[in-house]
Structure 1
Amino acid sequence: MEEINVSHIQDTVLWATFAVGLAFGAVSHRTHFCTMGAVADVVNFGDWNRMRMWVVAIAVAALGLQSLSIAGQANLNDTIYLGTQWSWLSGITGGLLFGAGMVLASGCGSKTLIRLGAGNLKALMVFVIMGLTAYMTLKGVFGVLRANFLDPVKFEFSASPYLPEMLASLFAADTTSLTAVFAIALPLIMLAWALASKSAWNKEVILGGVGVGLTVAAAWWVVFQVAYIPEHPDTLEAAYLGTYANRAEGFSFVAPYAYTLEWLMFFSDISRVLTVGVVACFGVILGAAGSSLTEKSFRWETFQGVEDTANHTVGAVLMGVGGVLAMGCTVGQGLSGVSTLSLPSFVALASIVGGAVLALKYQTWRVERMF
Structure 2
Amino acid sequence: MLLTIVILSFFLGCAAGFIMHRSDFCMAGMFRDLFLFRSLAMLRVLLLLIVASMVLFELARLFGLVRLPFPLFAPPSLVTPIGGALFGVGMVLAGGCAIGTLYKMGAGSLPSLLAFVGLLAGSAFYAEFHPWWMQLSRATRLASQVSLPQMLGVSPTLAVALFVVAAGCVLFRWFRAGKLDQPAFAEGYLQPWRAALWLALLGLGSALLVGMPFGITTAYAKMGGYLESLAIPGHVASLAYFIDEPFRFTHPFLGFSLQGGAGPRLDGIVVVQFPVVFGILCGSAFSAARLKEWKFSAKVPLKQCFWALFGGMLMGLGARLVPGCNVWHLMGGAPMLAGQSLLFIAALFPGAWLGSRILVKYVV
- Please confirm whether the aligned pair reaches a TM-score higher than 0.5, indicating the same fold: yes
For residue 76 of structure 2, what is the aligned residue in structure 1?
A: 86
Q: Residues 193, 80 of structure 1: CA spacing in aligned structure 2 closer, same or farther, 3 A cutoff? A: farther
Contact persistence 1:62–1:217 (CA under 8 A): no
The reply to whether residue 189 of structure 1 matches residue 163 of structure 2 is no
Describe the superposition over 1:106-134 as per-residue Cα deviations: whole angstroms up to 9, x where unpaired.
Answer: 11110110111101122222212212321
Q: Residues 28, 75 of structure 1: CA spacing in aligned structure 2 closer, same or farther, 3 A cutoff? A: same
What pairs up with 1:32-181 in 2 under 5 angstroms?
Answer: 32-81=24-73, 83=74, 85-89=75-79, 91-137=80-126, 140-147=127-134, 150-157=136-143, 160-167=145-152, 169=153, 175=154, 178-181=155-158
Contact persistence 2:14–2:283 (CA under 8 A): yes
Q: 1:330 aligns with which of 293, 307, 326?
A: 326
Q: Residues 43, 78 of structure 1: CA spacing in aligned structure 2 closer, same or farther, 3 A cutoff? A: closer
The reply to whether residue 304 of structure 1 matches residue 300 of structure 2 is yes
The DSSP-based 3-state class of the residue aligned with 1:103 is: helix
Number of residue pairs aligned between Structure 1 and Structure 2: 320
The DSSP-based 3-state class of the residue aligned with 1:47 is: coil
Matches of 1:270 and 1:163, distance apart in 2: 35
Q: Residues 279, 367 of structure 1: CA spacing in aligned structure 2 closer, same or farther, 3 A cutoff? A: closer
The DSSP-based 3-state class of the residue aligned with 2:111 is: helix
For residue 206 of structure 1, what is the aligned residue in structure 2?
A: 193
Contact persistence 1:303–1:309 (CA under 8 A): no
Matches of 1:209 and 1:287, distance apart in 2: 16
Matches of 1:17 and 1:124, distance apart in 2: 22
Q: Structure 1: 5+ residue runs without aligned partners?
A: 1-8, 170-174, 225-248
Q: 1:364 aligns with which of 354, 360, 364?
A: 360
The reply to whether residue 250 of structure 1 matches residue 199 of structure 2 is no
Deviation (angstroms), 1:30: 0.4
Deviation (angstroms), 1:38: 1.1
Q: What is the letter of the counterpart of residue 61 of structure 1? A: S
Matches of 1:278 and 1:95, distance apart in 2: 23
Q: What is the letter of the counterpart of residue 157 of structure 2? A: A
Deviation (angstroms), 1:318: 0.5
Q: How high is the sequence identity, in percent, across the aligned residues? A: 23
Matches of 1:182 and 1:122, distance apart in 2: 41
Contact persistence 1:200–1:206 (CA under 8 A): no
Contact persistence 1:24–1:287 (CA under 8 A): yes
Deviation (angstroms), 1:367: 8.0
Contact persistence 2:77–2:340 (CA under 8 A): no
With the length of structure 1 as denominator, give the TM-score of the two structures.
0.78
Contact persistence 1:49–1:205 (CA under 8 A): no
Matches of 1:190 and 1:213, distance apart in 2: 16
Q: Residues 144, 344 of structure 1: CA spacing in aligned structure 2 closer, same or farther, 3 A cutoff? A: closer
Describe the superposition over 1:141-165 as per-residue Cα deviations: whole angstroms up to 9, x where unpaired.
Answer: 14245235x424422425x242234
Contact persistence 1:52–1:195 (CA under 8 A): no
Q: What is the letter of the counterpart of residue 183 of structure 1? A: V
The reply to whether residue 11 of structure 1 matches residue 3 of structure 2 is yes
What pairs up with 1:211-222 in 2 under 5 angstroms?
Answer: 211-222=198-209
Q: Residues 46, 199 of structure 1: CA spacing in aligned structure 2 closer, same or farther, 3 A cutoff? A: farther
Matches of 1:193 and 1:157, distance apart in 2: 31
Q: What is the letter of the counterpart of residue 103 of structure 1? A: V
Q: What is the letter of the counterpart of residue 304 of structure 2? A: D
Q: Residues 18, 263 of structure 1: CA spacing in aligned structure 2 closer, same or farther, 3 A cutoff? A: farther
Please say which of residues 211-220 and 69-78 is displaced more in the overlay. Answer: 69-78
Matches of 1:165 and 1:217, distance apart in 2: 22
Matches of 2:363 and 2:221, distance apart in 1: 34
Q: 2:266 aligns with which of 268, 272, 293?
A: 272
Contact persistence 1:327–1:333 (CA under 8 A): no
Deviation (angstroms), 1:222: 1.0
Matches of 1:42 and 1:74, distance apart in 2: 35
Contact persistence 2:106–2:285 (CA under 8 A): yes
CA RMSD of aligned residues (A): 2.7
Deviation (angstroms), 1:184: 3.5
